[in-house]
Structure 1
């Protein structure tokens, strides 16, 4: 199942990852509160820093509509 992961970072930034597998989201969610939240995206290891909380939105977000 693919969807959109919404990450709230320590520096009050929001990172949105579209078309991501639920397993990647679960991996990120397990690392909430850690100093280095790492996951593999497109064959690269990405470090998001401190992430908490994370949200899952199944399917794609309609940005024209605003969700």
Structure 2
């Protein structure tokens, strides 16, 4: 299953990873609170630093939705 992972980082940044496997999200979630949250994306190891919380959204986010 693919979806969108939303990472809240210690430095008040938000990182959104779209079209990611649930297994990658679970790997990131297991590292919440660690100083170096690492995972493999596109054949590269990425260090997101400290993340907490991490949220999951199935499928893609509709960025064009307006009120």
- Global fold match (TM > 0.5): yes
**Structure 1 gaps, min length 5:** none
TM-score, reference length from structure 2: 0.97
**Structure 2 gaps, min length 5:** none
Secondary structure, aligned partner of 2:35: coil
Alignment RMSD (CA, Å): 0.8
Q: How many residues align?
A: 66
TM-score, reference length from structure 1: 0.97
Secondary structure, aligned partner of 2:7: strand
Secondary structure, aligned partner of 2:15: strand
* Aligned residue number for residue 17 of structure 1: 17
Are 2:46 and 1:46 aligned?
yes
How far the C-alpha of 1:54 sits from its partner, in A, is: 0.3
- List 4+ stretches of structure 1 deviating above 6 A: none
Aligned-partner Cα distance in 2 for 1:30–1:5: 13
Matches within 5 A, 1:23-38: 23-38=23-38
Are 2:62 and 1:62 aligned?
yes
